[in-house]
Amino acid sequence: MDEGVAAVRRQFPAKAGAIDDLATRDDEFREICRDFAEAQSELAKWEGSTEPKREERRREYGELIAGLLSEIEAALEHAAALARSPPRPPPLR
């Protein structure tokens, strides 16, 4: 399993099935998942750092993670809404 998808599954364990379904068919969603995992990894590095820019970087990565979580939740909600929609009739010719 892709590490990005695994990171998102850990964040939203109750939505693991929906995450897997969306990840199998949506390249953009997988890219957001990869970005999320990378941002989490970077945040963890900065949390253990003693560098002078530690607090600034922690804040930046925290904001990035929050934004990515919003994108992930929106994508999952959109996919769920599409799944609940009745099928569209074929166009008339």
Q: What would the pLDDT profile of 28-86 be if each residue is shown by its tens digit?
A: 999 999 999 999 999 999 999 999 999 999 999 999 999 999 999 999 999 998 888 77
The closest of 61, 79, 60 to 12, measured between CA atoms, is: 79
Is 63 a member of any domain? yes
- Note whether residue 38 is domain-resident: yes
Residue 80 and residue 18 in contact, taking contact as beta carbons nearer than 8 Å: yes
pTM assigned to the model:
0.86
Task: Write out pLDDT tens, residues 77-88.
Answer: 999 988 887 777
Rounded CA separation 33/49 (Å)? 25
93 inside domain: no
Q: Closest Cα partner for 38 from 73, 71, 9, 64?
A: 64
Separation between Cα atoms, residue 81 and residue 36, nearest integer Å: 23
Residue range(s) defining the domain that contains residue 32: 3-84
